[in-house]
């Protein structure tokens, strides 16, 4: 018994941190930091509840594991759109009552204020982000810099290693767009065996020069370390490195693939009601604008896009750096959640098989 | 005669000696066993049962059977069912299940289970479940009108197999087989990955074992023939890596071998390489092999050393004095005596290499991944049954090697440092 | 290792080539570990020697990455370094939290593995032990079975190994488990996993020590009237203590270096040093990792020295001639 007591004191000393009222799980790095600064900390300050942020490579994976194991420790997770749909279908998420979301400052109901598709049965969008590619401006002359998606695959004209996300999603679409497939046809092409072969054939052309990354923070790091001359990345990470840290990085918007990022509540979350309140706070017009002032992802509400948003440095205007800026959308693709819900495991398996050979 | 003698012998209290001895021995046995028992129970509870549980998971998935009760029941009554032409009752059961799934929000569960063997079916189930409530008989026509894919023979095969929570299908997937309209068959070459990766893992482990042996042999020999005082000092150079964190050593190799790393900088500085032609020795198979060799080398040196240390030098001298060249002496006299060490070290290094995870995950890049990394990939993707099936196959391979090790060397002769 | 007098010139050449090869292999073994140390003092953000470092320019060296270990996760990293600052660092800095977690988890796992392992080793080394080989094979297997398989099995099982928090069991054990009352995501789960991984090392070292142990000493103690408890603590224990301690150190190092099981079964609270390093290496590989690595190398040197001293002491006690 004495031993148990000692053990208990020791373990309490270990945990040290007070148990949080709300645990938010996001992607870490600059993105996690933005959500911490814009949502987690202000919400905690405003409501007097404790809130913590934890990181994951892709929060959809651990929360599914937690729910299926009946051992949920996360209250709110930030997941990709297709994952929010898929997990909702699988009964892994709590449903969200859209009528309880915060209305716009002028009183417009949230359901009318959000962009179409930004509020689903189980999730509320927190931003619109994009897969883009970026290059190191010191590696290419200004007049001979890459400009199109096809340039990413042109090793002769633009020598150097390439960084690519290690996963099928957004990589296969990007390969097809670089191969000349119009955005409108990308998913119909990818639904056929020939289309899949075509995407992999395009990737084959650069395979031996690719450095693969997994966590979002790795992509700007690869560029900064000089390991690659260009890399695909989440656009906000590049913006953070370029504007925030003054790194010589330039985003190429051609061939960008964008989607909503969703706040969701895993089924059986320890503090479901507080989680809902957190989401209401975070996805209010001001909450979304606050996040967009930390990282260059577009707020998904009309009312949040009325006034220009300034970056936290006080001098950079966010508008031109957002995926939703019309000038950035000339050759762009909205990720199809329907497609990825169906083909995620099949194409990722094929992708793994292709990678290891 | 012996029997007659034993019956005469008794202990002081008159019991036959044989019986007394047996009782005493049984008591001693029981005592020895009781000492081991707590640990055995601990290991059983926290190690063997979890592994058994994993094996069970590899044969079990109730995503479909749990959410489609009518169809599952129907399949049970129809052992000779023809998947190419399912009857109306089957479709009726399916439609009622789809309506149930929509109500219970289990569409995704069922779709995911079927999706393992027939890719692309999650949205089929989703659309079917959404429409099921309003479908009118005849259900076959109604469902086929909704989406002709509902008539696919392989879909019906998959649903039949998934109607029981217990299945060997994950082992089919794990051996690169695909479900077609006529049953399971070898998958297309571009999709084959698991057996290939098993093969590759064994090949790479074999290569690492050979490299370790080549590097360990001279070092172990040197340590064995040097006087104790010197070899003790050198032994520290072998033991320090052994005691240093795996992550530290992996980090060190990244610093050394990456494109902007020390080895490349040195080679460029020395003019051996040009700046834009740096070696690619990290984040690929080279990185995995180099780092793993470094990590596993002490496991080869130590058993070799303990065997070599007791080889008497007089044999070699005798061989030389009888006229053998130094090479012949080495080959015919010395190496055969080191065979137990070679076997012990090689098997241990090979076994440890086959299951390696951390080093390939951190320095392997794309082509330096081994089977453990793929198991971890499926774990993070929540394909638990498939991950468990792959892990079970790996476990079987390891156990065979372990058994071999025990036969050849004896597990109780394993030594550390 | 002197050359025999009858060595031919060719053999002489081969002899020196052989020495050179051995030196290179030793360099391969030890070089990577040593190279980490100077690199960790870089003032730059890169993983390589800068020109300044190569010219021994003091500006090329700094302690900034060691400083990062204190400031990462610190609420006021830039504040004045007074008592309050250090207190905050002790309570909040990410790496310090990780170190504390690693230490406690390692300590309890070691205590568990060493206690159970030593008792079992005593039984295993008795000549009467039934099924000795089979049981040995089972007890050593956590070292042989790939860690990924162990981690997968445990992650399935620990998630189901729960007690209801409001039950009597939950009231007794709840505080050791996750807030759902499960082994998964709990400190106890990690401790048990690490104890299992440490057991083979304890068994191997303690049985090795016991193999040189003269069993007649026990009979002698008994015949002089000592009961089993006294015999163990006064006769057996002092003789096998060096073996127990090196087994315990092995178990501690195993836990202190373990990351796969932690990745699979631990929750966000159970952040340990290896896990923090693993994430660091994968994401933003900064020289802060090298600073941690240097500290860990120093720790392993100290542990190795301890084990070596113990081994020699044990051999002396057992009358084995020291190597």
- Out of A25, A71, A221, the one facing C284 most closely (by C-beta) is A221
Q: How many structural domains is chain B composed of? A: 3
Indicate which of B232, B252, B266, B390 best probes the interface with C, i.e. most C CBs within 10 Å of its own CB.
B252
Query: What's the rounded Cα separation, in Å, for the pair C79 and A84?
Result: 41
| Model confidence at C188: pLDDT above 70 | yes
| Model confidence at A18: pLDDT above 60 | no
- Out of A8, A14, A73, the one facing C104 most closely (by C-beta) is A14
Q: Answer for the pair A341, B122: CB distance below 8 angstroms, yes or no.
A: yes
- Out of A8, A72, A214, the one facing C282 most closely (by C-beta) is A214
Alpha helices in chain C (DSSP H): 9-39, 51-54, 64-71, 83-92, 94-124, 132-144, 147-160, 168-173, 187-211, 216-223, 228-231, 237-256, 260-265, 273-282, 287-317
Nearest Cα to A219, choosing from A207, A206, A236?
Answer: A236
The verdict on B222 and B94 lying in the same domain is no
Query: What's the rounded Cα separation, in Å, for the pair C190 and C202?
Result: 18
SS3 of A269-336: the string is CCCHHHHHHHHHHHCCHHHHHHHHCCCCCECCECHHHCCCCECCCCCCECHHHCCCCHHHHCCEEECC
Q: Does C232 touch chain B (CB under 8 A)?
A: no
Strand partners, C61: C42
The verdict on B295 and B348 lying in the same domain is yes
Q: Does C210 touch chain B (CB under 8 A)?
A: no
Residue B318 lies inside a defined structural domain of this protein: yes
Q: Does B199 touch chain A (CB under 8 A)?
A: no
User: Contact B190/A225, CB-based, under 8 Å?
Assistant: no
Residue-level pLDDT at B126: 85
Which residues from A are below 8 Å from B108, CB to CB? 86-92
For every residue of B128-165, DSSP letters joined together read HHHHHTT--SSHHHHHHHH-GGGG-HHHHHHHHHHTSS
CB count in 10 Å sphere of residue B84: 12
H-helix or E-strand spanning residue A88: helix A81-89
pLDDT tens sequence across A96-127: 998 889 998 888 888 889 988 899 999 999 99
Name the residue of chain B whose CA is nearest to A60's CA: B381
| Model confidence at A55: pLDDT above 70 | yes
Residue-level pLDDT at C317: 65
| Model confidence at B7: pLDDT above 60 | no
Residue-level pLDDT at A183: 92
The verdict on B339 and B224 lying in the same domain is yes
φ/ψ of residue A262, rounded to 5: -115, 135
Q: Answer for the pair C274, C101: CB distance below 8 angstroms, yes or no.
A: no
The verdict on B163 and B281 lying in the same domain is no
Residue B132 lies inside a defined structural domain of this protein: yes
For chain B, the farthest-separated pair of C-alpha atoms sits apart, in whole angstroms, at: 99
User: Contact B416/C277, CB-based, under 8 Å?
Assistant: no
Please say whether the dihedral angle defined by the alpha carbons of residues B37, B42, B47 and B53, taken in this order, is positive or negative: positive
Q: Answer for the pair C158, C187: CB distance below 8 angstroms, yes or no.
A: no
Name the residue of chain C whose CA is nearest to A225's CA: C46
**C-alpha atoms less than 13 angstroms from C-alpha of B108 in its C-beta half-sphere:** 17
Q: Quick one: average pLDDT of B131-137? A: 87
Residue B8 lies inside a defined structural domain of this protein: no
Class of domain A2-128+260-326: alpha beta
pLDDT tens sequence across C218-261: 888 888 888 888 888 888 888 888 889 989 999 999 999 999 99
Which residues from C are below 8 Å from B321, CB to CB? none
pLDDT tens sequence across C26-74: 999 999 999 889 888 988 777 777 777 777 888 888 888 898 888 887 8
- Out of C162, C187, C267, the one facing A14 most closely (by C-beta) is C187
- Note which residues in 250-309 of chain C have CB less than 8 A from chain A: 267-269, 279, 282-285
Query: What's the rounded Cα separation, in Å, for the pair B51 and C23?
Result: 44
Please say whether the dihedral angle defined by the alpha carbons of residues A229, A235, A236 and A239, taken in this order, is positive or negative: positive
Residue with tokens 């790091």: A221
| Model confidence at B109: pLDDT above 90 | no
pLDDT tens sequence across C94-114: 899 999 999 999 999 999 999
Residue-level pLDDT at A8: 41
User: Contact A226/B193, CB-based, under 8 Å?
Assistant: no
Helix, strand, coil share (%) of chain B residues, nearest 5: 75, 5, 25
In A, what residues contact B, Cβ < 8 A? 57-58, 61, 64-65, 68, 86-92, 159, 161, 166, 197, 200, 210-212, 225-227, 338, 341-343, 345-346, 348-350, 352-357
- Out of C46, C178, C185, the one facing A225 most closely (by C-beta) is C46
φ/ψ of residue A326, rounded to 5: -50, -40
Residue-level pLDDT at B63: 87
Name the residue of chain B whose CA is nearest to A85's CA: B108
H-helix or E-strand spanning residue A354: helix A337-356
**Nearest CA distance, C82 vs chain A (angstrom):** 21
The verdict on B148 and B83 lying in the same domain is yes
Scored b (16 or more CB within 10 A) or e, B188-217 reads eeeebbbeebbebbbebbeebbebbbebbb
Residue B13 lies inside a defined structural domain of this protein: no
**C-alpha atoms less than 13 angstroms from C-alpha of C44 in its C-beta half-sphere:** 17
Kindly give, in sequence order, each residue whose CB lies less than 8 Å from that of residue A338, ignoring residues fewer than 6 positions away. A85, B123
Query: What's the rounded Cα separation, in Å, for the pair B32 and C218?
Result: 14
Q: Quick one: average pLDDT of B40-59? A: 93
Helix, strand, coil share (%) of chain A residues, nearest 5: 45, 20, 35
pLDDT tens sequence across A172-213: 999 999 999 999 999 999 999 999 999 999 999 999 889 888
Three-point CA angle A20, A22, A25, nearest 5°: 105
CA-to-CA separations, C104 to A15, A17, A338, C100, C110, in angstroms, rounded = 10, 15, 47, 6, 10
pLDDT band of residue B257 (cuts 50, 70, 90) is confident
Q: Answer for the pair A210, A166: CB distance below 8 angstroms, yes or no.
A: no
Domains and CATH numbers, chain C: 9-85 (no CATH), 96-317 (1.10.3720.10)
Q: What percent of chain A has pLDDT over 70?
A: 94
Which residues from C are below 8 Å from B258, CB to CB? 47
Which residues from A are below 8 Å from B381, CB to CB? 61, 345, 348
Query: What's the rounded Cα separation, in Å, for the pair B372 and B384?
Result: 14
CATH number at residue B328: 1.10.3720.10
Which residues from C are below 8 Å from A270, CB to CB? 179
Q: Which of A292-306, B269-283, C107-121, C142-156 has the lowest mean pLDDT?
A: B269-283
Residue-level pLDDT at B50: 94
Q: Where in chain A is the domain with CATH 3.40.190.10?
A: 2-128+260-326, 129-259+329-356
Nearest Cα to A277, choosing from A10, A2, A39?
Answer: A39
CATH 2.40.50.140 for domain A129-259+329-356 = no
Three-point CA angle B276, B278, B283, nearest 5°: 125
H-helix or E-strand spanning residue B240: helix B228-243
Query: What's the rounded Cα separation, in Å, for the pair C61 and C63?
Result: 7
Q: Decide: residue A147, CB within 10 A, 0-12 exposed, 13-18 middle, 19+ buried.
A: exposed
Rg, Å, chain A Cα set: 21
The predicted complex's ipTM stands at 0.88
The verdict on B38 and B126 lying in the same domain is no
Mean predicted lDDT score pLDDT of chain C:
85
Which residues from B are below 8 Å from C278, CB to CB? 247, 358, 362
Which residues from A are below 8 Å from C195, CB to CB? none
User: Contact A57/B380, CB-based, under 8 Å?
Assistant: yes
Q: Per the structure block, which two tokens stand in for A335?
A: 């990720």
Please say whether the dihedral angle defined by the alpha carbons of residues C222, C224, C230 and C233, taken in this order, is positive or negative: negative
Q: Does A8 touch chain C (CB under 8 A)?
A: yes
Mean predicted lDDT score pLDDT of chain A:
87
In terms of residue numbers, what domain contains B167? 69-189
pLDDT tens sequence across C190-229: 999 999 999 999 999 898 888 877 878 888 888 888 888 8
The verdict on B159 and B208 lying in the same domain is no
Name the residue of chain C whose CA is nearest to B309's CA: C323
Is pLDDT larger for residue B275 or for residue A164? Answer: A164
The verdict on B274 and B370 lying in the same domain is yes
Residue-level pLDDT at A278: 94
Nearest Cα to A124, choosing from A274, A283, A304, A288?
Answer: A283
Residue B6 lies inside a defined structural domain of this protein: no
| Model confidence at A12: pLDDT above 70 | no
**Nearest CA distance, B264 vs chain A (angstrom):** 13
Residue-level pLDDT at C147: 93
pLDDT tens sequence across B390-400: 999 999 999 99
- Note which residues in 265-294 of chain B have CB less than 8 A from chain A: 276, 283
Q: Decide: residue B276, CB within 10 A, 0-12 exposed, 13-18 middle, 19+ buried.
A: exposed
Q: How far is C-alpha C248 from the geometric centre of its chain's CA atoms?
A: 9
CB count in 10 Å sphere of residue C115: 16
Q: What percent of chain A has pLDDT over 90?
A: 44
**Nearest CA distance, A55 vs chain C (angstrom):** 8
The verdict on B141 and B124 lying in the same domain is yes
Q: Which of B255-264, B340-349, C187-196 has the lowest mean pLDDT?
A: B255-264
Strand partners, A136: A249
Please say whether the dihedral angle defined by the alpha carbons of residues C173, C176, C180 and C185, taken in this order, is positive or negative: negative
Residue B4 lies inside a defined structural domain of this protein: no
Q: Answer for the pair A29, A217: CB distance below 8 angstroms, yes or no.
A: yes
| Model confidence at A10: pLDDT above 60 | no
| Model confidence at A283: pLDDT above 80 | yes
For every residue of B327-365, DSSP letters joined together read HHIIIIIIHHHHHHHHHHHHHHHHHHHHT--HHHHHH-T
The verdict on B95 and B31 lying in the same domain is no
Q: Answer for the pair A98, A282: CB distance below 8 angstroms, yes or no.
A: no
The verdict on B133 and B244 lying in the same domain is no
pLDDT tens sequence across C70-79: 888 788 888 8
Three-point CA angle A350, A351, A356, nearest 5°: 100
The verdict on B183 and B199 lying in the same domain is no
Residue-level pLDDT at A2: 40
Is pLDDT larger for residue C165 or for residue C162? Answer: C162
Name the residue of chain C whose CA is nearest to A14's CA: C101
| Model confidence at A1: pLDDT above 50 | no
């Amino acid at each position: 018994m004495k031993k148990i007591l000692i053990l208990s004191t020791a373990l309490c000393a270990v945990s040290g941190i007070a148990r949080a009222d709300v645990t938010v799980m996001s992607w870490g790095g600059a993105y996690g930091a933005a959500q911490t600064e814009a949502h987690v900390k202000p919400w905690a300050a405003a409501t007097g509840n404790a809130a913590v942020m934890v990181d994951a490579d892709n929060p959809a994976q651990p929360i599914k594991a937690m729910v299926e194991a009946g051992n949920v420790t996360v209250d709110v997770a930030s997941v990709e759109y297709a994952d929010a749909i898929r997990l909702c279908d699988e009964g892994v998420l709590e449903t969200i009552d859209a009528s309880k979301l915060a209305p716009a400052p002028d009183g417009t109901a949230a359901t009318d204020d959000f962009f179409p598709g930004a509020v689903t049965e189980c999730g509320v969008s927190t931003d619109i982000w994009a897969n883009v590619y970026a290059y190191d401006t010191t590696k290419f002359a200004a007049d001979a810099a890459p400009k199109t998606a096809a340039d990413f695959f042109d090793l002769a004209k633009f020598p150097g290693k390439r960084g690519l996300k290690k996963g099928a999603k957004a990589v296969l679409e990007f390969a097809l767009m670089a191969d000349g497939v119009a955005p409108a046809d990308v998913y119909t092409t990818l639904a056929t065996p020939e289309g899949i072969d075509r995407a992999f054939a395009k990737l084959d052309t650069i395979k031996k020069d690719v450095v693969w990354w997994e966590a979002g923070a790795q992509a700007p790091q690869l560029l900064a370390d000089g390991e690659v001359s260009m890399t695909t990345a989440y656009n906000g990470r590049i913006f953070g490195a370029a504007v925030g840290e003054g790194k010589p990085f330039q985003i190429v918007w051609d061939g960008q693939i964008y989607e909503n990022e969703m706040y969701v509540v895993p089924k059986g979350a320890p503090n479901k009601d507080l989680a809902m309140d957190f989401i209401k706070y975070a996805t209010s017009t001001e909450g979304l604008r606050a996040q967009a002032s930390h990282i260059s992802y577009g707020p998904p509400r009309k009312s949040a896009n009325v006034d220009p948003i300034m970056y936290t440095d006080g001098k950079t205007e966010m508008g031109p750096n957002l995926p939703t800026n019309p000038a950035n959308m000339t050759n762009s693709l909205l990720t199809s959640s329907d497609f990825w819900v169906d083909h995620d495991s099949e194409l990722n398996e094929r992708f793994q098989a292709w990678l290891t050979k | 005669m012996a029997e007659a003698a034993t019956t005469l012998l008794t202990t002081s209290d008159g019991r036959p000696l044989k019986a007394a001895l047996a009782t005493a021995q049984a008591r001693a046995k029981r005592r020895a066993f009781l000492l081991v028992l707590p640990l055995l129970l601990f290991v059983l509870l926290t190690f063997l049962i979890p592994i058994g549980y994993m094996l069970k998971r590899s044969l079990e998935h109730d995503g479909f059977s749990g959410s489609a009760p009518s169809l599952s029941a129907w399949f049970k009554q129809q052992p000779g069912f023809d998947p190419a032409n399912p009857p109306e009752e089957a479709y009726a059961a399916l439609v009622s299940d789809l309506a149930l799934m929509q109500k219970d929000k289990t569409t995704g569960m069922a779709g995911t289970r079927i999706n393992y063997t027939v890719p692309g079916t999650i949205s089929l189930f989703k659309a079917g479940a959404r429409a099921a409530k309003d479908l009118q008989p005849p259900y076959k026509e109604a469902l086929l009108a909704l989406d002709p894919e509902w008539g696919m023979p392989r879909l019906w095969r998959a649903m039949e197999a998934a109607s029981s929570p217990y299945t060997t299908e994950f082992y089919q997937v794990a051996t690169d087989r695909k479900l077609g309209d006529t049953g399971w068959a070898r998958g297309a070459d571009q999709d084959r990955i698991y057996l290939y990766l098993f093969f590759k893992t064994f090949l790479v482990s074999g290569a690492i074992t050979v490299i370790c042996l080549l590097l360990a042999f001279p070092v172990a020999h040197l340590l064995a023939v040097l006087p104790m005082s010197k070899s003790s000092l050198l032994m520290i150079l072998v033991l320090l890596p052994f005691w240093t964190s795996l992550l530290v050593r992996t980090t060190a190799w990244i610093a050394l071998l990456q494109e902007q790393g020390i080895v490349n900088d040195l080679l460029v500085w020395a003019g051996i390489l040009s700046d834009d032609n740096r070696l690619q020795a990290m984040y690929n198979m080279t990185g995995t092999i180099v780092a793993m060799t470094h990590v596993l080398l002490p496991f080869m040196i130590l058993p070799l050393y303990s065997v070599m240390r007791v080889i008497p030098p007089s044999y070699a001298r005798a061989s030389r004095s009888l006229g053998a060249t130094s090479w012949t002496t080495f080959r015919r006299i010395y190496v055969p005596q080191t065979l137990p060490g070679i076997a012990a070290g090689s098997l241990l290094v090979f076994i440890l290499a086959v299951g390696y995870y951390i080093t390939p995950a951190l320095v392997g890049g794309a082509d330096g991944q081994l089977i453990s990394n793929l198991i971890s990939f499926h774990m993070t993707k929540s394909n638990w049954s498939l991950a468990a099936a792959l892990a079970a196959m790996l476990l079987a391979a390891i156990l065979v090697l372990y058994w071999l090790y025990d036969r050849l060397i004896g597990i109780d002769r394993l030594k550390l440092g | 290792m002197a050359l025999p007098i009858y060595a031919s010139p060719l053999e002489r050449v081969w002899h020196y080539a052989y020495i050179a090869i051995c030196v290179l292999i030793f360099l391969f073994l030890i070089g990577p570990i040593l190279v980490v140390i100077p690199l960790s003092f870089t003032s730059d953000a890169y993983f390589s020697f800068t020109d300044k470092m190569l010219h021994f320019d003091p500006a090329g060296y700094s302690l900034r990455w060691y400083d990062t270990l204190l400031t990462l996760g610190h609420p006021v990293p830039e504040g004045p370094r007074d008592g309050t600052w250090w207190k905050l660092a002790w309570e909040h800095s990410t790496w310090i939290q990780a170190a504390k977690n690693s230490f406690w988890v390692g300590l309890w796992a070691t205590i568990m593995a060493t206690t159970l392992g030593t008792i079992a080793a005593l039984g295993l080394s008795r000549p009467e032990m039934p099924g000795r080989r089979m049981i040995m094979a089972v007890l050593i297997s956590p070292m042989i079975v790939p860690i990924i398989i162990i981690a997968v099995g445990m992650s399935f099982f620990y998630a189901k190994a729960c007690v209801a928090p409001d039950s009597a069991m939950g009231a007794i054990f709840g505080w050791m488990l996750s807030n759902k009352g499960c082994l998964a995501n709990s400190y106890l789960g990690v401790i048990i996993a690490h104890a299992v991984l440490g057991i083979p090392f304890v068994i191997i070292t303690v049985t090795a020590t016991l193999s040189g142990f003269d069993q007649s000493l026990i009979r002698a103690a008994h015949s002089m009237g000592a009961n089993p408890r006294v015999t163990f603590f006064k006769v057996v224990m002092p003789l096998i203590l060096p073996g127990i301690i090196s087994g315990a150190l092995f178990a501690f190092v195993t836990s202190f270096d373990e990351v796969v099981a932690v990745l699979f079964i631990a929750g966000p609270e159970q952040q340990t040093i290896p896990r923090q390093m693993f994430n660091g290496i994968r994401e933003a590989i900064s020289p802060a990792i090298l600073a941690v690595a240097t500290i860990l190398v120093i720790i392993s040197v100290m542990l190795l020295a301890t084990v070596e001293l113990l081994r020699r002491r044990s051999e002396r006690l057992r009358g084995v001639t020291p190597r």
